[in-house]
């Protein structure tokens, strides 16, 4: 049986500042959310502030105004147990505001800490498919400052936590519609120092979320308008960022990609995703493969199998998939055939391997045991057409 259609939720968007220099809004928005200096938890990466003087200055302004600062440093894929360890070290008097400044894992941890500040017991007890408690939706205010142009976590309802392992690995979500950030600062300057490999993999993640949402049978006319705009923006920006990352004249491309990533988060929340994420979710549970890297490798073979299966099914399914893939191809500046979209995605993956050092899945030690485990746990989710486990394996094998 297929999955039940989603329960439609109103599209909830936070206030956003989308411009070069947006990080300068951190202090006034923090003070708007929490009048009077309080306790601020800053969630960030190991070297993020060291490479971002504008962000460092914005945080320093809060400290100068009397805010008490506690820092949580994220490295790798965070687990629920690791989050609980960080909770133990937070100020005993409570938390007034969380600021998450970094990539997808940083944003997920910030979202989780904001939520768990208002819950009792271990984080794991509230995870989907694992715990026995439903999140209340209460949280302290939090501000998202994305720096990698990838997951769109700043506007999604869920935070992903996991502990990879072939035998007992897991990757689950803490989810509630109330977990969307209060404020989002999209500042292209903050992405300039991100390594090229991260730009490529995060960008492919964002693009896959946009494309899967556009192909999903659960999309809507409003989301379609947003998606086509974001696909066009990402399609023009991402190849330039992969091939010329670091060049001084790419601020407009970084800015476009940051917005496209945020739109991808809005879209996936309301449409669900397809076979790409139906496979890389379980893959991230069984092996320590970065989420964006998995997306970058799986995207084009997943779309190739989806198009082939749609043609095999025929009828309205084939017509819809062909038309939508062709429309995206045109948005990317290509031809008006669905196959040309697949060719463009193949080319992007080749360019990411050539210019950004993107490794195939085999570079992370993935072998037949992992493929068996992924196929066992895989899902079509809301793919445009259902694929078989044999087709899932073919996608994974092509991604090695």
143 with 241, same domain: the answer is no
Give residue 92's pLDDT. Answer: 84
* Cα(277)–Cα(200) distance, integer angstroms: 17
- Residue 1 pLDDT level (bands cut at 50, 70, 90): very low
Mention every residue, 6+ apart, whose C-beta is less than 8 A from residue 118.
136, 138, 139, 140
Q: Fill in the DSSP letter of residue 361.
A: G
Q: Mean pLDDT, to the nearest integer, of 167-176?
A: 88
In a domain, 292, yes or no: yes
Q: Residue 9 — pLDDT band, cuts 50, 70, 90?
A: low
**Gap between the Cα atoms of 302 and 382, Å rounded:** 13
The model's pLDDT over 232-271, given as tens digits with 9 standing for 90+, comes to 999 999 999 999 887 878 999 999 999 999 999 999 999 9
Residues 6+ apart with CB under 8 A from 319: none
Q: Which segments of 245-337 does DSSP mark as H helices, in order? A: 251-271, 275-286, 291-313, 315-331
> How many whole angstroms separate alpha carbon 338 and alpha carbon 225?
19
Assess whether 238 and 356 both reside in one domain: yes
- Sign, CA dihedral 198-204-210-216, equals negative
Whether 183 and 68 map to the same domain: the answer is yes
Q: State the CB neighbour count (10 A cutoff) for residue 390.
A: 9
Place of tokens 């979202």: 111
CA distance 321 to 184: 33
Taking only the tens place, the pLDDT of each residue in 380-397 is 999 999 999 999 999 999
Residue 334 lies in a domain: yes
Residues 234 and 287 in one domain: yes
What's the whole-number average pLDDT of the chain? 94
My answer on whether 242 and 296 are in the same domain is yes
> Per-residue confidence at 193, pLDDT binned at 50, 70, 90?
confident
Residue 376 lies in a domain: yes
Residue 7 has pLDDT above 60, yes or no: no
pLDDT in tens, 96-112: 999 999 999 999 999 99
CA distance 209 to 177: 19
Same domain, 299 and 380: yes
Quote the CA–CA distance of 297 and 396 in Å, as a whole number.
9
What's the whole-number mean pLDDT along residues 127-143? 96
Beta bridge partners of 170: 163
Same domain for 218 and 92 = no
User: How confident is the model at residue 8, as a pLDDT?
Assistant: 55
Q: Which CATH number fits the domain that encloses residue 65?
A: 3.40.50.1970
Determine the length of the chain. Answer: 400
The answer on 358 and 306 residing in a single domain is: yes
**What does pTM read for this prediction?**
0.94
């Amino acid at each position: 049986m297929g999955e039940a259609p989603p329960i439609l939720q109103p599209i909830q968007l936070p206030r956003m500042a989308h411009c070069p220099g947006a990080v300068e809004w951190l202090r006034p928005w923090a003070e708007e959310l929490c009048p009077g200096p309080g306790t601020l938890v800053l969630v960030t990466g190991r070297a993020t502030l060291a490479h971002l003087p504008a962000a460092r200055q914005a945080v320093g302004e809060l400290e100068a105004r009397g805010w008490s600062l506690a820092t949580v440093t994220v490295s790798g894929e965070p687990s629920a147990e690791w989050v609980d360890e960080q909770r133990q070290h937070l100020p005993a008097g409570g938390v007034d505001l969380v600021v998450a400044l970094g990539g997808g894992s940083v944003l997920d941890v910030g979202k989780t800490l904001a939520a768990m500040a208002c819950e009792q017991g271990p984080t794991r007890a509230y995870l989907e498919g694992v715990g026995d408690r439903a999140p209340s939706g209460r949280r302290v205010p939090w501000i998202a400052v994305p720096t990698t142009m990838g997951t769109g976590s700043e506007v999604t309802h869920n935070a992903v936590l996991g502990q990879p392992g072939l035998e007992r690995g897991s990757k689950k979500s803490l989810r509630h519609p109330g977990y969307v950030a209060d404020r989002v600062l999209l500042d292209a300057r903050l992405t300039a120092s991100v390594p090229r490999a991260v730009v490529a993999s995060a960008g492919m993640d964002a693009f896959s979320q946009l494309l899967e949402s556009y192909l999903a049978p659960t999309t809507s006319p409003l989301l379609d308008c947003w998606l086509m705009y974001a696909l066009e923006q990402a399609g023009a920006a991402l190849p330039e960022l992969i091939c010329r990352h670091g060049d001084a004249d790419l601020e407009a491309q970084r800015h476009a990609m940051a917005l496209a990533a945020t739109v991808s988060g809005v879209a996936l929340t309301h449409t669900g995703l397809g076979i790409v994420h139906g496979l890389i979710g379980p893959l991230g549970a069984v092996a320590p493969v970065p989420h964006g890297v998995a997306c970058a490798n799986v995207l084009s073979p997943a779309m190739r199998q989806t198009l082939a299966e749609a043609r095999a099914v025929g009828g309205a399914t084939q017509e819809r998939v062909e038309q939508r893939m062709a429309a995206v191809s045109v948005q990317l500046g290509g031809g008006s055939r669905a196959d040309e979209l697949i060719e463009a995605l193949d080319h992007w993956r080749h360019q990411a391997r050539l210019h950004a050092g993107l490794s195939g899945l085999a570079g992370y030690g993935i072998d037949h045991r992992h493929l068996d485990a992924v196929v066992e746990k895989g899902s079509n989710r809301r793919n445009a057409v259902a694929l078989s486990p044999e087709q899932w394996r073919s996608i994974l094998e092509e991604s090695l």
